[in-house]
Amino acid sequence: MIKVGIVGGTGYTGVELLRLLAQHPDAEVVAITSRGDAGTAVADMFPSLRGRVDLRFEDPAKADLRACDVVFFATPNGIAMQQAPGLLEAGVRVIDLAADFRIKDVAEWEKWYGMQHASPAWVERAVYGLPEINRESIRGARLIANPGCYPTAVQLGFMPLVQAGLVDVQHLIADAKSGVSGAGRKAETHSLFSEASDNFKAYGVPGHRHLPEIRQGLGRMAGNPVGLTFVPHLTPMIRGIHATLYARIGAEADFQALFEERYANEPFVDVLPPKSHPETRSVRSANVCRIAVHRPQGGDTLVVLSVIDNLVKGAAGQALQNMNIMFGLDETSGLCQVPLLP
């Protein structure tokens, strides 16, 4: 049984980790921390976990995280880079759901996240946890940089085209929409019900923190830097990401077959039949990315539709998928939930 610790268990990704791990046959959560809620029973804060999780939140300074096999950091940016190195040196494996280790260029990370990096040496050693491209590296990793939600949907949507060299990588466009839970479990004006409900807006158009992460990933696939316009939007729903991706065709191919072949053996990527339009509710609460490929009017531009649940394949589910790979388990273990409908 894998002994699991969670640092920062009171946010949406933390409770999602708990929900998924409570159903995992080979993992047991033995410690979960929260500075502000130490001593509170997990089931008192999250009644959905009554009878499933009997732990109490612990003060991070007192929790015995070094006794764990793996520790998940479901914390704000800037926490894991300070606390993870000590655990790693003690032999604990770490999966960071924040952005501390995702961007290899430390100066670029510091520019976008507005702070000095506390452990740049570990940035180089971290493995970017997108299984569909880094599965073999994940197997032997000690530190996983779990991808962001927007980057997961966008990279999986563009991946077959960019890897095959069939599109103009200097003019890629990602028009993406996210549910309000993507902003985290905190009180902010823009995410209040009366502000976000019955409303739709773009944000971060001049630049969003996920932009350099997406560019880095696509650049590695292409073998060269890419040109990407990325515009995120906030939608009046709780969960879900819908990415509409545009790429100019550079060489002809059977694009439907290309996607089907690339993802034929991927357990959590579903390529839909031609003319399909994936919906966010078709992946709600599941660790699945559904993709559809279109070529409007037979023109020179491909449109790829990619949907995920931002809290599952975009965060906690993908983190658990990485854990399964790291420990040599069935990759789908604990992740076979059928999406909720309605």
Per-residue pLDDT tens over the stretch 227-277:
999 999 999 999 999 999 999 999 999 999 999 999 999 999 999 999 999
Specify the pLDDT at position 250.
Answer: 97
Specify the pLDDT at position 289.
Answer: 98
Q: How far apart are CA 86 and CA 31, in angstroms?
A: 17
Residue 184 pLDDT > 90, yes or no?
no
Helix axes 131-139, 317-326, angle to 10 degrees: 40
Q: How far apart are CA 244 and CA 199, in angstroms?
A: 19
Domains recognised in the chain with CATH numbers: 2-125 (3.40.50.720), 149-309 (3.30.360.10)
Mean per-residue pLDDT of the chain: 96
Residue 306: enclosing H or E segment and its boundaries? strand 301-308
Specify the pLDDT at position 172.
Answer: 98
| Largest separation between any pair of C-alpha atoms in the chain | 62
Specify the pLDDT at position 261.
Answer: 98
User: Which residues carry out catalysis?
Assistant: 149
Determine the distance from the C-alpha atom of residue 217 to the mean position of all C-alpha atoms in its chain, rounded to a whole number.
13
152 with 289: CB under 8 angstroms?
A: yes
Per-residue pLDDT tens over the stretch 112-164:
999 999 999 999 999 999 999 999 999 999 999 999 999 999 999 999 999 99
Specify the pLDDT at position 196.
Answer: 85
Specify the pLDDT at position 190.
Answer: 81
* Exposure b/e, 236-250, CB count within 10 A at least 16 = b: ebebbbbbbbbbebe
Residue 107 pLDDT > 80, yes or no?
yes
Per-residue pLDDT tens over the stretch 18-74:
999 999 999 999 999 998 899 999 999 999 999 999 999 999 989 999 999 999 999
Specify the pLDDT at position 187.
Answer: 74
Instruction: Give residue for tokens 């990279």.
Output: 155
Residue 189 pLDDT > 90, yes or no?
no
Specify the pLDDT at position 244.
Answer: 98
82 with 14: CB under 8 angstroms?
A: no
Specify the pLDDT at position 316.
Answer: 98
DSSP state of 245: E
Rg of the Cα trace of the chain?
19
Residue 186 pLDDT > 90, yes or no?
no
Specify the pLDDT at position 183.
Answer: 83
* C-alpha distances out from residue 161 to 112, 124, 156, 323, Å: 28, 27, 10, 28
Specify the pLDDT at position 328.
Answer: 98
Phi, psi of 292 (to 5 degrees): -135, 145
Residue 79 pLDDT > 80, yes or no?
yes
Per-residue pLDDT tens over the stretch 292-330:
999 999 999 999 999 999 999 999 999 999 999 999 999
5 with 29: CB under 8 angstroms?
A: yes
Residue 188 pLDDT > 90, yes or no?
no
pTM summary value: 0.96
Specify the pLDDT at position 185.
Answer: 81
Specify the pLDDT at position 192.
Answer: 83
- Apex 175 CA angle, 233 and 182, nearest 5: 40
- What residues contact residue 36 under an 8 Å CB cut-off, 6+ apart? 10
Q: What is the end-to-end Cα distance of the chain in Å, rounded?
A: 35
Q: How are beta strands 70-73 and 2-7 bridged, if at all?
A: parallel
